[in-house]
Structure formats: structure tokens, C-alpha cells
Amino acid sequence: QAQLQESGGDLVQPGGSLKLSCVASGYPFDSYDVTWYRQTPRKRREWVATITRADLTNYADPVRGRFAVSRDNTKNTAYLQMNTLNSDDTGVYYCHVPARGLWGQGTQVTVSS
């Protein structure tokens, strides 16, 4: 059974950093793009970043220059490095594989002093 499992969410102070992980299983991880979304208190679920199977990356404007998405196909894992966090980054972060319709359960990121 194909599934995704996120981890790494935490409470962090403004200006801090976190690294989220998304571990995939049950399908050929290296053959599919991976996206990150977040559900913030004030907005619908919004797209954050994408990494393609060819390691091409793209970012939403609010996070470009602060976040970095990567993947390690040997570990079936995608990562989201988040730097210079602010309160607007608070939310539940999900990884998603669009071509397979897969979503993880989400991991909570809270940015607060």
C-alpha cells in the first residue's frame, strides 16, 4: 500500500529553522514528483514547493528564498528545509504525490515566541 509519512514539525521561534521529512513507501519514489502544501489558520491549503523526479524545484512566492525542497531517492524521502520562519508559516504541512493521489497525514509547524 502506497503511503507518505511526514515528520519534523515543531514549535520554533520567529527567525528559526526547521527541516521536514516525508518518507514514501509502496511505490517507486524516484519516478514521481513530490509537492509540499500547508494548511494555515487563515487560508485554504496552499501549495508551498515542488521537486520533480528530475530534481527541478519550484516555490511559492511567500517562501521563495527561505525554503528549500530536496529529495534522497536512496532513502525514499523528500525534505523541506525552512529558514527565517515567521508567524505566517504556522500551519500543518503535508507532502503530496499528485500523480498517485497520495497525501501524508501532515505535521504541525508553529512559529511563535
Beta bridge mates, 60: none
3-class DSSP state of 98: helix
Q: Quote the pLDDT of residue 44.
A: 82
34: cell is 513530490
Give pLDDT tens digits along the chain (113 positions): 999 999 999 999 999 999 999 999 999 999 999 999 999 988 789 999 999 999 999 999 999 999 999 999 999 999 999 999 999 999 999 999 999 999 999 999 999 99
Beta-carbon contacts of residue 20 (< 8 Å; ≥ 6 apart): 6, 7, 8, 9, 36, 79, 80, 82, 93, 95, 107, 109
Phi/psi of residue 52, nearest 5 degrees: -80, 170
Q: Quote the pLDDT of residue 41.
A: 82
